[in-house]
Amino acid sequence: MQDSFEQQSTSPLSPNTILLQWEAPEHEPLELGPRSRVIVTVLLVLIVVWALYTNSPLMAITFILIGIIGYLSLYREPRIIRFSVTPKGVVAGNELYSFESVQSFFIYTEPPFQNILSLHTEGKLFSHAHIPVPTIDNNELRDVLSQFIPEEEHSPGLIDTLEKLLHI
Same domain, 57 and 131: no
Strands 102-108 and 95-98: unpaired
**pLDDT on residue 132:** 87
Same domain, 138 and 102: yes
7: in domain: no
pLDDT category of residue 42 using cuts at 50, 70 and 90: very high
Which DSSP category does 87 fall into? Answer: S
Question: Residue 102 half-sphere exposure, CB side, CA atoms within 13 Å?
Answer: 26
CATH number reported for the structural domain that contains residue 153 in this entry: 2.30.29
106: in domain: yes
pLDDT category of residue 68 using cuts at 50, 70 and 90: very high
Same domain, 41 and 69: yes
| Domain containing residue 158 | 13-26+79-166
Q: Is the full-model pTM beyond 0.85?
A: no
Q: What is the domain count for the chain?
A: 2
44: in domain: yes
Same domain, 64 and 119: no
Same domain, 21 and 98: yes
128: left (phi over 0), alpha (psi -120 to 50) or beta: beta
Same domain, 83 and 101: yes
Q: Are 25 and 81 in contact (CB under 8 A)?
A: yes
Same domain, 97 and 139: yes
Mean of the per-residue pLDDT values of the chain: 80
Find residue 81's DSSP bridge partners.
Answer: 24
Same domain, 67 and 87: no
